[in-house]
Amino acid sequence: MKYLKEKVELANGTFMPKLGFGTWQIPNGDSAYNAVKEALEVGYIHIDTAYAYGNEESVGRAIKDSKINREKLFVTSKLASHVKDYDGALMQFRETLANLGLEYLDLYLIHAPWPWNEIGKDCREGNALVWKAMIELYNEGKIKAIGVSNFNKEDIQYIVSKTNFMPHVNQIQYHVGHNQDDTLKYCFDNDILVQAYSPLGTGRILNNEIIVEMAAKYKVTPAQLCIKYCLESKTIPLPKTVNKNRMIENSQVDFELSKADFKNLKNI
């Protein structure tokens, strides 16, 4: 379970635990509260949420009730994808902190380059405005690191051209069968850490024949193999589950994956 505590250093000197706990699609209330409470009990210290998930309040309550020192935790949230103006970003950040009951965030991300109900819309100017707001919050010490999510190379280049400030992190969908090589290369070349959301392909890739066979060879589960694939890709996986046994399972990935098998997975 070493990946729960081992950390990677971001470009600005902040440290992030190598394996996080995703909370997308866990409803606010008992579900999110219990899931995060159990994840913290298992030993996860890196928790990922978002304003748009609607569960910040329960996530925050579970964090508070865990009594774990705030400095020991790494908490991420995201600015909702439809907010593309400066004042709106500052306002929603305050709301997120209040929902979570926290004084600061470890990481705050622009959730997407466009509103989720208008995928592909040109929001470059809006992204630059909210990026400026986030840089200001970062400079004030209210956020330890800032970044983006679902951004490609051009989306990132635009906000950097307007601010001269490189995101510390890009959180993208990354899993076996969905590699996003161009984005990954651009991020690595520019010292942007990549977080992998849906590392299990939201559960859909776990029955893949090649994955099932290879997992058996390593005496691990398909989920463990898929999480290891993300780690070997130098991304930070954020698997989601509401099941405590699976939380434990997903953290037990201390096995060696051969270069050849990594390549085989990459080719799926």
Q: Where do the H-state alpha helices sit in 6-54? A: 30-42
> Which one is catalytic: 44, 51, 53, 108?
53
Strands (DSSP E) contained in the chain are 7-9, 15-17, 21-22, 46-48, 74-79, 105-110, 143-149, 169-173, 193-197, 236-237
Binding flag, residue 16, ligand A2P (CB under 6 A): no
Greatest Cα pair distance in the chain = 54
Q: Smaller CB distance to ligand A2P: residue 74 or 186?
A: 74
Two structure tokens written together for 147: 């970044």
Encoded tokens for 227: 């999480």
20 touches ligand A2P by CB under 6 A:
no
> By CB under 6 A, is residue 250 in contact with ligand A2P?
yes
Residue with tokens 């030993």: 43
Q: What span, in angstroms and rounded, lies between the C-alpha atoms of 41 and 134?
A: 31
Residue 53 among the catalytic residues: yes
Length of the chain: 268
Q: Report 186-205 residues binding ligand A2P (CB under 6 A).
A: 198-203
216 binds ligand A2P (CB under 6 A): no
**Which value, in Å, is the radius of gyration of the alpha carbons in the chain?**
18
| Only segment of 3-11, 108-116, 118-126, 234-242 that touches ligand A2P (CB under 6 A) | 234-242
If binding is defined by CB under 6 A, does position 244 make contact with ligand A2P?
no
One of 12, 139, 161, 243 touching ligand A2P (CB under 6 A): 243
Considering only 100, 241, 257, 265, the residue that binds ligand A2P (CB under 6 A) is 241
Residue 128 vs 206, nearer CB to ligand A2P: 206
SS3 of residue 53 by DSSP: helix
Q: Which residues are annotated as catalytic?
A: 53
List residues binding ligand A2P (CB under 6 A): 22, 198-203, 206, 221, 223, 239-243, 246, 249-250
